[in-house]
Amino acid sequence: MLPHQTAFLELALEHEVLKFGSFTLKSGRVSPYFFNLGKIAGGAGLRRLAHAYADALIGSGLEFDLLFGPAYKGIPLVAAIACALAERGRDVPFAYNRKEAKDHGEGGVLVGADVKGKRVIIVDDVLTAGTALRQSFALLKDSGATPVAAMTALDRQEVGPNGRSAVQELTESGLPVKPLVTVRDLLAYLTSNGGDASTIEAIRAYQAQYGVK
Ligand code: OMP
């Protein structure tokens, strides 16, 4: 694992971003773990998180002009990542969306830097079936931007009801996904850092049922 991946998992466990138990997901699946990046809700934690994303973005070699944060969790993320990139000498504009269109003032659903004609990285928290990312992809394309990739903190590496991997489907539709970590990285980390054996086993069993092979 790369240093920023380990740093991110340490941060996530410290802030209880990862919870273990029994959770019903958007898909209706009952998962033994849940990932809630909203638990990082303070300056020091957010700064560490932003630097993990910045490391991953720089390490990816992707070329981009703008960061896009889908409402709501993507909004503080893009703002903080833009600050982290600025600390490294790269001034990157960012934009985000409103969930409901505004019909007065500046109007519309997009806020922040103009996305038109820009190569955009979509920054989000967690990917299960990719529904949220697909919506952002369509919104950006309709607004004249070129989404080049999505970066999420966690890829749960699940297959959809059709048995296909969400990441594979997104990649095929033109949106490669770069996660900070995958659920396999999480399992490896828990296994080598004294994670609870029954938790590890429950996540493994869940992955065997719903995960990519
Ligand atoms: P997809 O849009 O299906 O990729 O799922 C991402 C969304 O699922 C997130 O934006 C959350 O609303 C929710 N979610 C989590 O936040 N954490 C998880 O561990 C799992 C889910 C989920 O419901 O799949």
pLDDT band at 106 (very low <50, low <70, confident <90, very high): low
- Centroid of ligand 1 to alpha carbon of 87 (angstroms): 30
pLDDT of residue 108: 78
Distance 99 CA to ligand 1 centre (A): 17
pLDDT for residue 116: 98
Nearest residue (by CA) to ligand 1, atom 12, is 26
Q: What letter would DSSP give residue 130?
A: S
> Is residue 69 scored above 70 in pLDDT?
yes
137-165 pLDDT per residue, tens: 999 999 999 999 999 999 999 998 888 99
Quick check: 190 and 7 in contact, CB under 8 A?
no
In the reported structure, the alpha carbon of residue 83 is separated from the centroid of ligand 1 by a whole-number distance in angstroms of 26
pTM, rounded to two decimals? 0.94
CA dihedral 181, 90, 62, 175 (to 10 degrees): 70
Any atom of ligand 1 within 6 Å of the Cβ of 183:
no
Q: Is 51 a catalytic residue?
A: no
Integer Cα distance of 19 and 15 in angstroms: 10
Mean of the per-residue pLDDT values of the chain: 95
Q: Taking residues 197-201, report their average pLDDT.
A: 97
78 vs 186: CA distance, rounded Å: 24
Whether residue 33 contacts residue 77, with contact meaning beta carbons closer than 8 Å, is answered with no
